[in-house]
Amino acid sequence: MEATNQAEEVQLRHVEVDVLIPKMMREKARELCDEQVQAFTHCCKDSGFFMVFKCREENASLKDCLTKHYQDPVFFEECKKEYIQEKLEFQRTGIPSKQRKQKLPASM
């Protein structure tokens, strides 16, 4: 419970709210819209130069999916909480989240 209270008390800088959390949202939205990302990517690879014309439907579907997440205030709050937890963990350990998420070698 202390971590939750601590997360609520963290003051975020302008750059965190306007840049870093939206970046996290984009990354997570791409994961959540993986089916649309794959369809658009496949279409683009198959269409070559004509992808602008041939992939309109896939592009629109991808944009709709991503926009739905970008504009969702609940999704923003979830990403904000996750960002704060990562920030607090970094302050505690000094280890960036990317390094913490990497698997340790088997020899350790």
Does the residue 82 lie in any domain?
yes
So what's the pLDDT on residue 47?
Answer: 86
Domain-embedded: residue 12: yes
Q: Which pTM was predicted?
A: 0.72
pLDDT at 60 over 70: yes
Q: Per-residue pLDDT averaged across 77-93, rounded?
A: 93
In a domain, 105, yes or no: no
At residue 93, the pLDDT reads 86
Q: In this structure, what token pair is assigned to residue 53?
A: 């014309």
How many C-beta atoms lie closer than 10 Å to residue 53's C-beta?
Answer: 8
pLDDT at residue 2 greater than cutoff 50: no
What would the mean pLDDT of 40-50 be, rounded to a whole number?
A: 90
Judge whether 23 lies within some domain.
yes
Residue 31 lies in a domain: yes
Indicate whether 66 belongs to any domain: yes
Q: Does a structural domain hold residue 87?
A: yes
> Is-contact 44 102, C-beta < 8 A?
no
Instruction: Give me the number of domains the chain comprises.
Output: 1
Report yes or no on 101 lying in a domain: no
